[in-house]
Chain A
Amino acid sequence: MANKITQTTLKNGMKVMLKEIHTAPIISSWVWYRVGSRDEPTGKTGISHWTEHMQFKGTKQFPASMLDKAISREGGRWNASTSHDSTRYFETMPADKIDLALRLESDRMQNSLFDAKEVASERTVIISEREGHENEPMFRVSEAVQQTAFHVHPYHHEIIGDMADLRTITRDDLYDHYRKYYVPNNAVLSMAGDFDTKSMLKRIKELFEPIPKGKVPPRLIRPEPEPKGEVRLSVEGPGETTFIQVAYRFPNATDPDYIPLQVFDSLLAGASGLSYKTSRLYRALVDKEFAVDVSGWSEATIDPYLYRITITKHPKRQPEEVLAALDKEITKLQDVLVSSSEITRAVKQARAVFAYGSENITNQAFWMGYVEMFSSYEWFTDYLNKLAKVTPADVRRVARKYFQPSSRVIGTYVPKGKEA
């Protein structure tokens, strides 16, 4: 992937990242805010995600009735999402139509209305979104695991928020949240596609630089104490299938251990974005019929978060047998050095996944802003090189350091129906 990008900071503190790609007449533009569910105190959980919804409810210039049509009319694709650490909005448009997206984003950075009626109808929409999640056994167990893994740090709650708060958050709560965090010095604009950097930057300055700086509250930091031993929990619900989720405390994305852990993850659960049928867990759990499926997953976060292994238990096995088989595989990685060819393989896999990603302009604009939320663009450009330097001893060391039973939570979804 070509790495030449232009990075600059506007006078009001807004960071801009631009990458010209002239392979198709398309531009993808993303605006990122450094606010997410981890910035929400108890009583206001879900407010970042709800604010994201309200950003589609209109400004004076782009009223709700017109807003949702303006981008679509020009053939654009747009959406938004909220994570633990950030909130992001994107538009991917025919190149000659991108100005509309920029005008819209600069307008809704400061002029969203948060009309009380819209807040009221969105409340039930979001409650409905949460009810949809609750239909899923995996959501139920995953939420319980997360709540148990974090007692102090605000990674404790789900991004969508607790039902109690979704019922009580007010219009003014939402508007305050918006005004506090949606300021240019708390935002990053990342854009990739078919444009000329100089003229694009000029236009971005015209639209965004007049927006006044704000006083951004410090991030909510309440470090989670070290885990004091394994915790096990269960949730019950309808169905016939047992799910087990095992979550280990995992370092933040800029921790030096994060990269060797990506190799560890690749060997244990498979390279992200590829099939994983030759991963150690697939061979040990699915091939040996302890599970019908297994996956491993981590997230690049600002503060230490979780590595989660999710297992769909085989009907003929007991949960304890499944956990023993899992532990055996982890212990192997802690006891026996992996071969350097396994690491070479993981690097080749990552290289392929990067190549697939570079086919897509939306994806390239995403990555620029995404890494900026927890690190800088170099994190992305150095990634493959750093991965290639990981040694077998590194893998063993991080396996020992992070994958101890004493620092994990095990959640089991116990189906109330008859097991198949």
Chain B
Amino acid sequence: MAKLIAKPSLPGPEDIFRTVLPNGITVLARSNFNSPSVSMGGYLPAGAIFESDEKLGLADFVSSSLMRGTQTRDFDGIYNALESVGASMGFDSGVHNANFGGRSLVEDLPLLLKLLSESLKTPIFPKDEIEKLRAQILTGLALREQDTSDMAAMAFDRTLFAGHPYSRPSDGFVETIKAITRRDMQNFHRAHYGPKGMVIAIVGAIEPKKAFEAVNRVLGGWQVPCQVDAPALPPHKPVRKTVRKHHSIAGKSQSDLVIGMIGPSRKDPEYFSASLGNAVLGQFGMMGRIGNVVREKSGLAYYASSSLSAGIGPGSWEVHAGVNPKNLKKAIDLIEKELRRFVKSGVTKNELADCQANYVGRLPLSFESNSGVAGALLSIERYNLGADYFLRYVDLVRGVTRDDVLATAKKYIDPDRLVIATAGP
């Protein structure tokens, strides 16, 4: 009934521009002239993996400080330039990378890139600004301490990834944030911020070649000969039996729970069968089977779902729910039962077909906005998926069989070796 107009809606080798500058920066670009705006995003390898246990939160503190003052502009000057034209930009960091993102009207892209370049290359970490930021981070940590969902997630990571960099919260702890000096930040920046391994994507109302030239103009000359390579990830130790951890927070009306185990990394061959299996388990429709038993049938929770967190290193496969404290055990029992069923008999033909149809059908929806496309280009680059990834996507999804899902479930999920983390009263 709807008039379908053929249009190149999926990013592919024909319209994804990619080039690597001589200094190592990878530039990705794709045009979209439907709106006079442009979205920019990217990352560079300057994450928490480089920091010590004593200075946990350093990478995050550094990335949050980049826009607090540079050799050319002070904090207010940076934000005045951005906000005066309705543009925005920000940095954060995870275990592996420091990430950045921003958007502006296309006429202001040169300004956006100039500010990006200054923030990356010449931050000066002004003493008073660092102290203001430190107070803000400490308040953030005090609020985290009261957040049942955050605290359950932290207890989960600490247990599942014991001894591994993924066990640590990248925003640190009160004592480690207090221990970080301005000198630590300057040293971290000097050693880890550089063009090697940096990726930037620009999507919007601009020809890719012009986007590339704009990046090259401000970042093409950046050289950091002593930029330190990231250390290899150590192996993680699997849990031997189900472990339960509870973090007590008084005065709360709801508890949060996380139940899970190690999952595949993004590059593992089982990624797609795990992802589709997870969709059946805790995503599809109203949060899949988990949502059905915990929310729809038992009315125990407003949210109860499962998710796959798959990145560079070992991933995690997690079930999340928020329940009344008195229903915690009941919810855990129901979830454990679903996990056993999932590992024993996998998914039905119809369930798998539903999820495959969902994955294929929703693909164009993820490219509705420029930032959605930029994120897709960055994923292709980060996980080496190939420029034709979205053109192969339908085959990748449809190629997964029930046997694949069952084998993947059995490989990763052992209902007798779960990590169960809860937080609440």
Contact = CB atoms under 8 A, between A and B. Distances in A.
A350 interface: yes
A240 B302 contact: no
B80 A128 contact: no
B260 to A, nearest CB: 20
Contacts of A75: 357-365
A314 B361 contact: no
Interface residues of B, number: 74
A73 B357 contact: yes
Interface stretch (B30-38, B222-230, B308-316, B399-407): B30-38
Contacts of A278: 76, 79-80, 83-84
A275 B86 contact: no
A200 B105 CA distance: 33
A199 to B, nearest CB: 6
Contact of A128 (B103, B250, B322, B365): B322
B322 to A, nearest CB: 5
B145 interface: yes
A141 to B, nearest CB: 14
Interface string B234-263: 000000000000000111111000000000
A287 B296 CA distance: 47
B100 interface: no
Interface stretch (A245-253, A322-330, A355-363, A385-393): A355-363
Contact of B86 (A94, A274, A315, A416): A274
Contacts of A23: 7, 32, 34
B252 A135 contact: yes
B302 A126 contact: yes
Contacts of A210: none
**Interface size, A (range):** 35 or more
Most buried by B among A203, A237, A238, A352: A352
Contact of B362 (A27, A77, A276, A286): A77
A299 interface: no
A358 B3 CA distance: 21
Between B5, B148, B250, the greatest number of chain A beta carbons within 10 A of the residue's beta carbon is seen for B5
Interface of A: 1, 22-27, 56, 64, 68-69, 72-77, 92-99, 120-129, 131-132, 134-135, 137, 194-196, 199-200, 203, 237-241, 270-271, 274-278, 283, 286-287, 289, 292-293, 312, 314-316, 345, 348-353, 355-356, 358-362, 416, 420
B254 A131 contact: yes
A56 B286 contact: yes
Contact of B146 (A97, A239, A276): A239
Contacts of B362: 75-77, 94
B2 A95 contact: yes
B88 interface: yes
A128 to B, nearest CB: 5
B301 A275 contact: no
6 contacts: A25-B9, A27-B2, A94-B365, A239-B143, A345-B84, A359-B35
Interface stretch (B16-24, B130-138, B408-416): B130-138
A170 B4 CA distance: 46
B327 to A, nearest CB: 8
Contacts of B163: none
Given A195-B2, A195-B3, A289-B132, A420 B76 contact: no
B324 interface: yes
Contacts, number: 226
B13 interface: no
Interface string B329-357: 00000000000000000000000001001
A238 B142 contact: no
Interface in B149-189: 174
A358 B9 contact: no
A293 B148 CA distance: 22
A132 B254 contact: yes
Contact of A124 (B142, B299, B322, B364): B299
Contact of A237 (B83, B251, B354, B367): B251
Interface string B78-91: 01101111111010
Contacts of B86: 271, 274, 348-353
A394 to B, nearest CB: 21
A10 to B, nearest CB: 18
B331 to A, nearest CB: 10
B219 interface: no
B135 A24 contact: no
Contacts of B303: 132
A120 B299 contact: yes
A195 B2 CA distance: 5
Contacts of A315: 135, 138-139
A73 B358 contact: yes
B14 interface: no
Contact of A196 (B3, B249, B296, B358): B3
B195 to A, nearest CB: 26
A350 B83 CA distance: 11
A26 B369 CA distance: 12
Given A26-B368, A75-B357, A128 B90 contact: no
A69 B361 CA distance: 13
B194 to A, nearest CB: 26
Contacts of B5: 22, 25, 194
Given A131-B253, A134-B253, A362-B368, A68 B35 contact: no
Contacts of A125: 295, 299-302
Contacts of B365: 26, 75-77, 92, 94
